[in-house]
Amino acid sequence: MSKASLRRRVGAAVSVAGVLVLGTALGTGIVSAQPTEVTADAVVQSMPAELKEAIRRDLGKDAKEYVATARAADKAALAGTRLRKELGEKFGGAWFDKNSKKLHVAVTDAAVAAKVRAAGGEVHQRGVSEGALDRAATTITNWVKALPAEKKAAFQAVAVDTKDGKLGVTLSSSEAGKALAAELPKVNVEVEVGHKQEELQAEKDLRGGDGYTVSGAGSSLRLCSLGFNAVDKLGRGQIITAGHCFDGFDGRKVNVEIKGAGNPVGEAIGLGENVRFDNAPDGDDSATIKVTNGGNKLLPEVNRYNGSGLKLDGVTDPIQGQEICKSGRTTGWQCGNVVNVDVQVRISNHLLSLFQHDACSIPGDSGGAVVLGSKALGITSGGAANPGDKCPTAGQPKDRSYAEFVGRDILPDHKGDAQLTVLTSNGDVDEDGVLDIDELNADITKIKDTNNNGVAAYRDADEPNLSAPKLTSPADKSRITERKPVLTGTAKPNAAVSLSYKGQTTEIKADASGKWTQTTGAELAYGDHEISLKQKVGELTSREVKSKFTVVPAAPVITEPKEGVKSENARPVISGTGTAKATVTVTSGETKLGEATVGADGKWTVTPAADLAKGKHTISAKQTIDKVDSDADTVAYELTKGGAAPPTTSPAGNGGGNGGLAKTGVDGVVPMLIGGAVAVAGGIALLVFFRRRKAGVQS
């Protein structure tokens, strides 16, 4: 699957559940069920002491503040994804300011600024769209792929800097790299070229930390660390890790690494599968480990350095500027910031599509977990070769590390029975009220399907208990204007359905197709309403579920000015119709223009108290009854002359940080894997075994 349009791949169907300790993690950008929210305090309490220390050391804040910032960044990333889809070519990019904890969005058209503000973002206007940046990066990537090997070796990376609306191209500091700069293809966006020293390759053996071994022919080994625990569609254990741990190697057998032992090969885990280590446009670096040892238990946690793990409660996507932490078998917990979200980077002659951060990664960390707060974000792929394979200390330049996307890339690549669900502490794919981690077979190598219907228990709403009926209209959390709605829903065929509302219970029967209908009596009041539902089939009764909806007034109608009017009138009379006695509030963007009470004839009029600014406006009107707001009616209005001074719009790049183009080069980009008798890659999912680990190869 092409990653040239990586950000558009979020619509792929994937799901979430729990990490291997051998633990469980949530797995995707899109989840079939909305997991229960885990409190910030619970996240902080679940953090290992080493992670809290890394947050303090690397980010200069305590765990509580980090979690608060991480949650704000998660919301910003989700809002940015929605706006990217809504605004299309008018979307210029999104980034996160960790100081203000706010989303920043660049747009190419001021007319869409209101949508950004409605999503909680600050607006920056510029002439280049994110789509144009993506296309320019793809042009350069395709050019690199066609270069002869000696020239291709001088290329390091091309990154889309959404904050500054530029591309950053990093080439070798050699004469070949300097010559290559003059040959770069012309693109219709600003490009900043930087040069870094030649690629370095580490060649010494590493020991220590938690990890796994990959056994090859003879005595050859590779050492890697686990990323996130997952299950396939049938509920069988899988572990997500880096593809280059297996690429070009003749072994697939995976065992626990025994630290400090002469023979590091310990308890068996499973077999490496689905190895992807390819070139752009795919640019993948991922693999899964099929768990074949039923003595392993998958937990929804990451890293067990001190006997405890960070519990995962979701999967999210990166956004430029967010703070992240990573777990590696060599470095332990390290924290930093997302530098760029879309980077084409050359690692071991593979052109990969990754995101860049500055948390330290050194050989031994490949495949390890990268998290945002308590959410799965990515797995470590590679980074700059650090002198002496040591992390930078205070005052030294930040690291350059690269990670593969979990939710946006790895999960959508697995389809059919191979579809992955990352295990999380709160995942409930089938929405049956039973956690996914409690619906897996005790032997994680086997399927759990107690009712023998061919659906794994964690995906089957009728296992372990009868599923609850559903209210399909009004939909859960919907806003409706009908005050006497007809309730409709689904249940088991011919089931007895119980509906409870404000202490009153009504029983109805579903038809042979499982559909049911119930009318309401008197008009419902404006505001929130909740209906409880359960069903009974024979002697089986489902759990009770609740569905909420809100009855709101109908939106008022703006009759003047007409849609799309251009005028020199800085104070146009705004009028329309509504519900008698309702309060109508009129705004332009975030500016309130006035309010009026709807007359007995159903009409209202508002004249702005101050001049509108010259330019385009979206005039909105909503009405309020019994303290409940309607949705808004809007019209476009353009003031062509005079008017108040327009509000200033911040230029792109002023949303926090140093404002300069993020340097995307590396002092030698290498995979976090070492060649030789023992090669190391890292990042840790948790491993827990029912049997004592032994310092020998297990048969």
Residue 216 pLDDT > 90 = no
Residue 692 pLDDT > 90 = no
DSSP 12: S
Q: Is the peptide bond before 464 cis (omega within 30 degrees of 0)?
A: yes
Q: What is the pLDDT of residues 598-643, one digit of tens each?
A: 999 999 999 999 999 999 999 999 999 999 999 999 999 999 987 6
For the chain, what percentages of helix, strand and coil (3-state, to nearest 5) are there?
15, 35, 50
Q: What is the pLDDT of residues 306-339, one digit of tens each?
A: 566 899 999 999 999 999 999 988 888 999 999 9
Q: What is the pLDDT of residues 149-181, one digit of tens each?
A: 889 888 988 999 999 999 999 888 888 889 999
User: What is the per-residue pLDDT for 386?
Assistant: 67
* pLDDT band with cut points at 50, 70 and 90 for residue 35: low
User: What is the per-residue pLDDT for 96?
Assistant: 97
Q: What is the pLDDT of residues 53-97, one digit of tens each?
A: 999 999 999 999 999 999 999 999 999 999 999 999 999 999 999
Contacts of 270 (CB under 8 A, 6+ apart): 237, 239, 254, 289, 290, 291, 292, 293
Least confident of 18-32, 168-182, 477-491, 614-628: 18-32
Q: β-pairing, 421-423 with 332-347?
A: unpaired
User: What is the per-residue pLDDT for 469?
Assistant: 96
User: What is the per-residue pLDDT for 398?
Assistant: 83
Q: Give the domains, in start order, of the chain with CATH numbers.
A: 470-542 (2.60.40.10), 557-630 (2.60.40.10)
Residue 304 pLDDT > 90 = no
User: What is the per-residue pLDDT for 306?
Assistant: 56
Q: What is the mean pLDDT of residues 139-145?
A: 92
* DSSP states of 190-258: -EEEEEEPPP---------SS-EEEE-STT-EEEE---EEEE-TTS-EEEEE-GGGTTT-S--EEEEE-
* Through-space distance between the first and last CA atoms of the chain, rounded to whole angstroms: 37
Nearest one of 304, 314, 306 to 425, comparing CA atoms: 314
Across the chain, mean pLDDT equals 84
The distance from CA 355 to its chain's CA centroid, rounded to whole angstroms, is 12
Q: 504 and 498 in contact (C-beta within 8 Å)?
A: no
DSSP 407: I
- Two tokens at 280? 């752009």
- Two tokens at 359? 């948390």
Residue 23 pLDDT > 90 = no
User: What is the per-residue pLDDT for 388?
Assistant: 66
DSSP H or E run through 399: none
Of 43-47, 255-259, 585-589, the range with the highest mean pLDDT is 585-589
Q: What is the pLDDT of residues 83-135, one digit of tens each?
A: 999 999 999 999 999 999 999 999 999 999 999 999 999 999 999 999 999 99
**Phi then psi dihedrals of residue 238, to 5 deg:** -140, 150
Single pTM value for the model:
0.73
* pLDDT band with cut points at 50, 70 and 90 for residue 681: very low
User: What is the per-residue pLDDT for 697?
Assistant: 27
What is the share, in percent, of the chain residues with pLDDT greater than 90? 64
Q: 661 and 191 in contact (C-beta within 8 Å)?
A: no
Q: What is the mean pLDDT of residues 286-305?
A: 87
Residue 33 pLDDT > 60 = no
- Two tokens at 344? 């084409």
Residue 688 pLDDT > 80 = no
User: What is the per-residue pLDDT for 409?
Assistant: 94
User: What is the per-residue pLDDT for 561?
Assistant: 97
Residue 455: Cβ within 10 Å count: 18
Q: What is the mean pLDDT of residues 222-237?
A: 92
Least confident of 20-29, 312-321, 408-417, 463-472: 20-29
**Phi then psi dihedrals of residue 53, to 5 deg:** -70, -40
User: What is the per-residue pLDDT for 669?
Assistant: 61
Residue 698 pLDDT > 60 = no
Q: What is the pLDDT of residues 188-213, one digit of tens each?
A: 999 999 887 645 332 222 222 357 88
